[in-house]
């Protein structure tokens, strides 16, 4: 499992929300295939608004490859993967040709 917090660029929240609607609506089957292709069994996202009004997306992936999935998607030739990269770049300004963000470091895991 891996988690990532990614600040959304100013003015991109509505576009991000529309993208999430696409992924859970008309492009849901393509998104499922993307996840399966990359070994992801669960792909969840939360939108967090900070006290200053800034927005951050928190993504949690369940897969054995959480630390390499971004690199795999970066070099994929699949059309949906290219679509996914375009949206990630527009929303978070990730540069898939440079160093990709690292996953969050897990500090606490308490279960009852």
3-class secondary-structure state, position 74: helix
Over the chain (112 residues), the average pLDDT of each successive run of 10 is 89 95 97 93 95 94 81 88 91 79 84 88
The yes or no reply on domain 2-92 and CATH 3.30.70 is yes
What are the start-end ranges of the H helices in the chain? 13-24, 28-37, 69-75, 79-92
Q: What is the pTM of this model?
A: 0.85
**Whole-number Å distance between alpha carbons of 68 and 74:** 10
Q: List the domain boundaries for the chain.
A: 2-92
Would you state the pLDDT for residue 22?
96
Q: What is the rounded distance in angstroms from the CA atom of residue 11 to the CA atom of residue 79?
A: 26
DSSP 63: S
Spatial separation of the C-alpha atoms in residues 38 and 72, rounded to whole Å? 8
């Amino acid at each position: 499992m891996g988690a990532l917090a990614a600040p959304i660029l100013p003015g991109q929240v509505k576009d991000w929300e529309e993208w999430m609607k696409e992924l859970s609506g008309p492009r849901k089957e393509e998104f499922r295939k993307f996840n399966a292709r990359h070994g992801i069994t669960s792909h969840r996202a939360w939108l967090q608004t900070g006290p200053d009004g800034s927005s951050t997306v928190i993504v949690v992936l369940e897969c054995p490859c959480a630390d390499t999935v971004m690199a795999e998607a970066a070099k994929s030739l699949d059309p949906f993967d290219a679509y996914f990269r375009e949206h990630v770049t527009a929303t978070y300004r990730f540069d898939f040709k440079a160093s990709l963000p690292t996953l969050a470091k897990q500090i606490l895991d308490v279960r009852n």
